[in-house]
Amino acid sequence: VKSEGPKLVPFFKATCVYFVLWLPTSSPSWFSALIKCLPIFCLWVFLLAHGINFLVSHRSARRILAGLIFSAVGDAFLIWQEQGYFIHGLLMFAITHILYSSAFGMKPLDLKAGLLMGLVSSSCYAFLYSYLSGPLTYLVAVYIALIGFMGWRAVAGIQLCNDLWTWTKLSACIGAMLFMVSDLTIALNKFCFPVPYSRFIIMATYYAAQMLIALSAVESRDEEDFRKRS
């Protein structure tokens, strides 16, 4: 907390600015896009603040940074979703989930977690299916599969029973779950029925998810690094 907390202060301030201004979604503009993307920009700075050498030596951190970049582009597209840019935003976030999944890695495999996430994802799509039409029927299916896969890789990283977990892996897991909650709320509100306080739920869980996933990129120091500092 002492080492990473100060680096996240700009993110918290930018998030507060977004919720205080609460710009109307009915009048999209580049200013509203900037305010919405500003917390994600701050997470770029958070990772870059660890130094270029950190990003060069940590492949997962580079991929999470790339995911945050695509997320910001997706956020900008969604500002104009009513003007026909929803699918563009969907594509950007699909790439984000691929990058996050790659950052989390395939070890340990944990097929039980994969089966659980598969059931959850399938159930969500089965519920949404009757509300979808046209290309969205297939695009939403692919998107749910990708975010479900990302959630699986995040959950598989923590093994509480064997004490084989770190705070970074736990952060990734919670962040992935919050991301799924945010996207499910978007889907329900857009395709099915109005969700009370949907915008607040979507953005609060989204920003928290991105922060936790960014935090997961900060690897715990290994024994060799500790000895070097000593």
- pLDDT higher than 90, residue 128: yes
DSSP, collapsed to helix, strand or coil, labels residue 121 as helix
CB neighbours of 65 closer than 8 A, spacing ≥ 6?
A: 44, 47, 48, 55, 217
pLDDT value of position 221: 44
Q: What is the pLDDT of residue 158?
A: 87
| 227 vs 39, more confident | 39
Q: What is the pLDDT of residues 131-179, one digit of tens each?
A: 999 999 999 999 999 999 999 999 998 876 665 668 889 999 999 999 9
pTM: predicted TM-score of the whole model, two decimal places = 0.93
Q: Among 43, 104, 36, 44, which residue's Cα sits nearest to residue 75?
A: 36
Quickly list DSSP for 80-92. Answer: TGGGTTHHHHHHH
Distance CA(112)–CA(115), nearest Å, equals 5
Q: What is the DSSP string of 13-61?
A: HHHHHHHHH---TTS--HHHHHHHHHHHHHHHHHHHTT-HHHHHH-HHH
So what's the pLDDT on residue 164? 61
Cis amide bond preceding 194, omega within 30: no
DSSP H/E element including 169: helix 167-187
The pLDDT of residue 228 is above 70:
no
Q: Is 165 helix (H, G, I), strand (E, B) or coil?
A: coil
